[in-house]
Amino acid sequence: MADGAPIEAVKTTCAYCGVGCGIVATPTGPNSATIRGDRQHPANWGKLCSKGSALGETLGLTGRLLTPFVGGRRTNWDTAMTRVAEGFAEALTHHGPDSVAFYLSGQLLTEDYYVANKLMKGFLGSGNVDTNSRLCMASAVAAHKRAFGSDTVPGTYEDLEVCDLLVLTGSNLAWCHPVIFQRIVAAKERRPGLKVVVIDPRRTSSCDIADLHLPITPGSDAALFLGLFSYLESRGYRDDPFVKDHTKGVDELAAYASTFTVEDVARRTELSEDKIRRFFRLFAQTERVVTLFSMGINQATDGTDRVNTIINCHLLTGRLGKEGMGPFSMTGQPNAMGGREVGGLANQLACHMDFEPTSIDRVQRFWNAPAVAKAPGLKAVDLFDAVHEGKIKAIWIMATNPVVSMPDADRVKDALQACPLVVVSDIAHDTDTARCADVLLPATGWGEKDGTVTNSERMISRQRAFLAPPGLARHDWWAVCELARRLGFDDSFAFESAAEIFREYTAMTAFENNGSRDLDLGALQNLSDAGYTSLDPIRWPCPVKGKHKERFFSEGDFYTEDRRARFVVPLTVKKKPKPKGFTLNTGRVRDQWHTMTRTGRAPRLNRHMPEPFAHIHPKDAEELNLKNHDLLRLSNNKGSIVVRTKTADTQEPGAVFVPMHWTRDTASNACVDTLVTPSADPFSGQPALKSSSVTVEPFNALWDGFALSLNRLSPGTDYWARVVSDRGERAEMAGLTRPENWRVFAQDLLCTEPDAQFVESNNSAGDAYRCALFISGRLTGLLITGTKPVAAAKDWLADQIGRVVPVEERFLLLSGYPPKGFLDPGPIICSCLGVGRNTIREAIKKGASNPTLIGECTGAGTNCGSCRSELRQMLEDANVTTQA
């Protein structure tokens, strides 16, 4: 791509979640493209969710890191890599291999991961390669290995459509993996006999299709599945031949689980016995069952045990590896799977081989490596602890933002600030983590990178470049090879293309494999450059010899030494003490991704939920004297954050849900992971991101404000949150003290030109101020403040920014509402088609009595469908009985 962008449509894969949707991108300029779903891609058959559809809006160069920096000064690659190589060499020489580390990301491509893993574990002699995927699915990996002897997802997406019972547990699939959710919705519409059970303390959008919702008490998942196991075992649902021929340990588990009676499970889960029996009966009597789980299961101190309790039930009934059956781990990131394939977790060596003597020897010979690591490295939480303790002297962080996303995030920030060498590769110049970097390296981003990713169903797809890298941006694999060369490993890192790396990686999966390892991509090891370029999506395994299999384990043949699966008796299931205060649950919202460094660039995605918030049950809110839209403070011994109150009866009492997306750059103080205690699962090292204790109290601001500007907004007030809008930025803010002079405050905030014309109003008490700014008749800024959360037609106002406003209409703007006859569309509900809440309300008023009719009137919900549950909620709020 270095010679310029192609003008043809290019098939690639989405940058975001583990569904791995195929995309067709057609460049429309040097930094822009139109995006549509790839109708031939087997993950999505042409569909995209709101985030995928908006990818084209995220390609501009605003805020992009375009050159290397050393010590905050712009420089060239040679200087930057000299600094990196010197820092790593110094640490290695004086402190040994375990004083260096790479912290990678599920956003990287498999080829990036492969070379990073090879360098650290084969040539620098340390296992210290970990990844943000540790936060997402490490418990699934550990549980797979305990049960199957390998990290294998046995089934495929098709199983989710053809099963007769789908159990969704610890997964808000509707918001976090929308295209797969919509595939299930469509399957259920075609075949209403497909039953769906949702297990989740919250009533999320995924409950929209639930025949049964089990709002269990947080943390009681393992007890529920142990109870299910006991029920199945005691009522004769054991698949005797399968268990006898292909498994080990059933009797020990049966003895342990026998105390988990329905009554006991009801006590532990706080579910009614009737609901529990309904679920158990349904599972027992349905042959084709898939249990899909995700972060709600994995992100816990008993995450690995929880996953094993799920797998146990499928092993007992022999329901795995066959069409429409099996446990199914849904990964969070686009290439979390590719990362774990190459070995990009600290407790894996390479290509599904572990740190045991035979594998270490094999890896050494394959790489001809001088210093293969002999023991696992540090997992994410321990790794950043080691940085904090000064044991890690040089760390390279690629494509991730741990200063926001790690538990106890402030401690991670302190650790990095004190580390002698922090290298950060990113596409964004100014992230919370980039601010801690000694060396900043400009990476190529989605649309410029070339390589492969693997989705949750083992499907390898190509990410293809369709834009030329801007500025001095380089591929991550190239930068790693550059470090390797400077440390003297030229021959082993002489890769000149992603295709060369892919060939070596696939050859390694096949090396001395002969069916002993699940991951075998041998059939791809001789792929030509042209073959790599045109590679269609392909699901592994793809061995040189032998039959290609879609699914694993229908006939047993597990990857333990005796080829038998293991029933696992959980060790961490205890009746948990009720936390003091509120349980803090963290997670995602529909239209944002991770720390918003990409989705935050798409104005229409920002219009769905433009402010950080906490969902809290109305009764809890009332007891705390909190009203909807008030600000609240969440605190514990790690710190405190301030976010907006959203009362929701979908939220379980005693708990709050806060999204993970807001950073120190997008809000004054809403980085929720600063409050998360860094306790982790003992087997997987995955942190518990959903169960910290917090106290909740009102944040008694003296004034609240809303601002719009063509320029960047930097409120600097006690509370603020800002997002990019179609033209400029919008911000919410609040203060504990009132500015001395509102006009001066507005001038500073809205970055006015000296010749800007102010139209303003001030109430007599001086506690409510409004102004609009015009330059040559164009509205360039607006500020509305008052003593309560600002009520105004904010989305309509945002659309007025940059417009030339006739003189007679200017003062009217200060009312905050459109003139008669104009409709404020309201916050976006349907991001794909840009349909706002008020437009939908109007349609409901006019008689649209179900989501389909709303779609016909407004277009909402007719593309990806992710907003259909919100449409249903709106119908419910309007007391409309939904008509099918």
Q: Specify the residue, 20 or 522, whose C-beta has the smaller distance to ligand SF4.
A: 20
Strands (E), 30-158: 32-37, 69-70, 73-74, 100-104, 129-131
Pairing assessment for the beta strands 195-199 and 212-214 based on DSSP bridges: parallel
Part of the chain binding ligand SF4 (CB under 6 A), chosen from 15-23, 58-66, 540-548, 694-702? 15-23
- Closer CB to ligand SF4, 48 or 499, in the complex: 48
Nearest residue to 292 via CA among 280, 307, 273, 275? 307
Q: Are 87 and 71 in contact (CB under 8 A)?
A: no
Instruction: Assess contact for 875 and 849: CB atoms under 8 A.
Output: yes
Strand-by-strand arrangement of the 757-762 sheet: 719-724, 729-735, 703-709, 778-786, 769-775, 757-762
Out of 17, 465, 658, 874, name the contact with ligand SF4 by CB under 6 A: 17
Instruction: Compute the least distance from the CB of residue 116 to ligand SF4, in Å.
Output: 23
Please tell me the distance from the alpha carbon of residue 841 to that of residue 396, in angstroms, as a whole number: 50
Interface characters, 177-196, with ligand SF4 (x: CB under 6 A): xxx-----------------
Residue keyed to tokens 């390479």: 350
- List the one residue out of 28, 36, 37, 35 whose CA is nearest residue 6: 28
Beta-bridged to residue 300, according to DSSP, are: none
Which residue lies nearer to ligand SF4 by CB, 22 or 97?
Answer: 22
- The residue among 53 and 217 lying less far from ligand SF4, judged by its C-beta, is 53
Closest approach of Cβ 18 to ligand SF4, in Å?
7
Smallest Cα–Cα separation from 342: which of 151, 101, 153, 533?
151
Backbone angles phi, psi at 425, to 5 degrees: -105, 130
Segment 562-621, which members bind ligand SF4 (CB under 6 A)? none
Paired strand residues for 587: 659
Q: Where are the beta strands (DSSP E) in 413-546?
A: 421-426, 439-442, 451-454, 459-463, 538-539
**Listed ranges 17-25, 274-282, 653-661, 663-671: which one lies at the site for ligand SF4 (CB under 6 A):** 17-25
Q: Which stretch binds ligand SF4 (CB under 6 A): 16-24, 657-665, 752-760, 826-834?
A: 16-24
Q: Return the amino acid letter for 768.
A: A
- Which residue, 220 or 331, is less far from ligand SF4 as judged by CB? 331
Coil, strand or helix at 626: coil
Rounded to the nearest whole angstrom, what is the least distance from the CB of residue 711 to ligand SF4 in the complex? 31
Read off the tokens for 541: 């395994």
What is the footprint of ligand SF4 within residues 630-649 (CB under 6 A)?
none
Contact, 419 vs 305, CB < 8 A? no
Least distance (Å) between residue 209 CB and ligand SF4? 16
Q: Tell me which H or E stretch contains 616.
A: strand 613-616
- In the complex with ligand SF4, the residue whose CB is nearer, 21 or 642, is 21
Nearer to ligand SF4, 456 or 666 (CB): 456
Q: Which is nearer to ligand SF4, 328 or 742 (CB)?
A: 328
Distances in Å between the Cα of 765 and the Cα atoms of 531, 768, 786 are: 73, 8, 11
d(CA 704, CA 769): 10
Nearest residue (CB) to ligand SF4, 330 versus 771: 330
Provide, rounded to whole angstroms, the least separation between the CB of residue 14 and ligand SF4.
3
| Contact assessment for residue 270 and residue 213, using Cβ atoms and an 8 Å cutoff | no
48 vs 250 by CB, closer to ligand SF4: 48
CA distances, 321 to each of 149, 242, 315 (Å): 15, 12, 10
User: Encoding tokens for residue 267?
Assistant: 């006590």
Binding characters for ligand SF4, 27-56, by CB under 6 A (x = yes): -----------------x---xx-xx----
Q: Work out how close the CB of 192 gets to ligand SF4 at its nearest, in angstroms, rounded to a whole number.
A: 24
Residue 694 CA to residue 656 CA, distance in Å, equals 9
Least distance in angstroms from the C-beta of 866 to ligand SF4: 8
Binding flag, residue 462, ligand SF4 (CB under 6 A): no
- Do the beta carbons of residue 265 and residue 223 sit within 8 Å? yes
Is residue 404 exposed (0-12), middle (13-18) or buried (19+ Cβ within 10 Å)? Answer: buried
Q: Dig out the tokens for 226 from the structure.
A: 């142990």
Can residue 446 be called a binding residue for ligand SF4 (CB under 6 A)? Answer: no
Instruction: Return d(Cα 73, Cα 71) in angstroms, integer.
Output: 6
Our finding on whether 16 is near ligand SF4 (CB under 6 A) is yes
Cβ distance to ligand SF4 smaller for residue 51 or 503 = 51
Nearest CB to ligand SF4, comparing residues 54 and 538: 54
Of these, 5, 11, 12, 20, which contacts ligand SF4 (CB under 6 A)? Answer: 20
Smallest separation, CB 794 to ligand SF4 (Å): 26
Q: Does 19 bind ligand SF4 (CB under 6 A)?
A: yes
Instruction: Note whether 416 binds ligand SF4 by CB under 6 A.
Output: no
Distance between start and end Cα atoms, the chain: 50
- Pick the stretch among 12-20, 189-197, 203-211, 755-763 that binds ligand SF4 (CB under 6 A): 12-20
Nearer to ligand SF4, 15 or 768 (CB): 15
Residue type for position 257: A
As measured in angstroms, the least distance from the Cβ of 177 to ligand SF4 is 6
Size of interface with ligand SF4, in residues (CB under 6 A): 14
Binding ligand SF4 by CB under 6 A: which of 10, 21, 295, 383?
21
Choose one: 14-22, 195-203, 558-566, 777-785; the region binding ligand SF4 (CB under 6 A): 14-22
Specify the stretch interacting with ligand SF4 by CB under 6 A; choose among 172-180, 265-273, 392-400, 599-607. Answer: 172-180
> Least Å distance between CB 610 and ligand SF4?
20
- Nearest residue to ligand SF4, by Cβ distance, number only: 52
Pick 814 or 828: Cβ nearer ligand SF4: 828
Alpha helices, DSSP H, located in 213-333: 221-234, 240-246, 250-257, 262-269, 273-285, 295-298, 303-316
- Interatomic CA distance for residues 86 and 155, integer angstroms: 46
Q: At closest approach, how far in Å is the CB of 591 from ligand SF4?
A: 10
Q: Are 331 and 137 in contact (CB under 8 A)?
A: yes
Distance CA 150, CA 159 (A): 21
Touching ligand SF4, residues 306-365 (CB under 6 A): none
Residue among 461 and 668 whose Cβ is closer to ligand SF4: 461
Q: Which among 175-183, 374-382, 724-732, 868-876 is the span making contact with ligand SF4, rule CB under 6 A?
A: 175-183
Q: Which is nearer to ligand SF4, 752 or 831 (CB)?
A: 831
265 to 221, 654, 720, 740, 787: CA distances (angstroms): 10, 20, 44, 59, 49
Our CB check for ligand SF4 shows the closer of 20 and 825 to be 20
- Contact positions vs ligand SF4 (CB under 6 A): 14, 16-17, 19-21, 44, 48-49, 51-52, 177-179
